[in-house]
Amino acid sequence: MDVSTVAIAVFEGVEELDAIGPYETFSVAGDSGGDLDVSLRTLEPTDRVTCAHGLRIEPDGELSGGADLIVVPGGGWTSGEGGVRTVVENGRLPAALADWSEAGREDRMIASVCTGAMVLAEAGVLDCRPATTHASALSDLRETGAEVVDARIVDDGDLLTAGGVTAGIDLALHLVARICGDDVARATATTLEHDRPSDVYRS
């Protein structure tokens, strides 16, 4: 699968590290010889997004701009308010992701970090497929159509999910290895001073 553009979906209440960890990992991979362009994107146009812990970020554009890989971070699910909880309740992002995934299933990838898996579940993307999420939300994920797996990263080909928060860096390193090769992944991990992931479930 040829992947060169990565869009990380951001929204009000998104968990900072869920989004920024993968963003930096993919950016470093691009600087390390990988043919990757990564951006932070929103469903609808906005100048600023306020994250779960107050960090304010300026998105690069909208998801409608197109991408080979979309990464959906988490945030706010277990607190019961804001973030993913609001995204799932209003349904617009899940619907857009469902349409995007169905339209390009053969040549697109989609991934989630932490409770971003609940957005994918609402979109129907996880139906009858192996997936994981933050430990605190595994019981909620079991109530959807997903087949919950106890692993830090679950790789089901065009669909990947990761556990909580820092697992987003592991997910991104795993994807860098898949997309750009081991040399780029090794160089990226060295720059980040982060071990490459070992707890990976592959279907």
Q: Where are the domains of the chain?
A: 5-202
Tens of pLDDT, residue by residue over 96-142, are 999 998 875 567 999 999 999 999 999 999 999 999 999 999 999 99
* Active-site hit among 51, 114, 128, 180: 114
Global pTM? 0.97
Query: Which residues does 50 contact at the CB level (< 8 Å), separation at least 6?
Result: 12, 13, 56
Tens of pLDDT, residue by residue over 7-18, are 999 999 999 999
Q: 57 has which bridge partners?
A: 49
Give the mean pLDDT of 36-46.
Answer: 97
What is the CATH architecture of 5-202?
A: 3-Layer(aba) Sandwich (3.40)
Q: Can 180 be counted among the known catalytic residues?
A: no
Question: What's the pLDDT score for residue 29?
Answer: 98
The closest alpha carbon to 130, from 114, 144, 109, belongs to 144
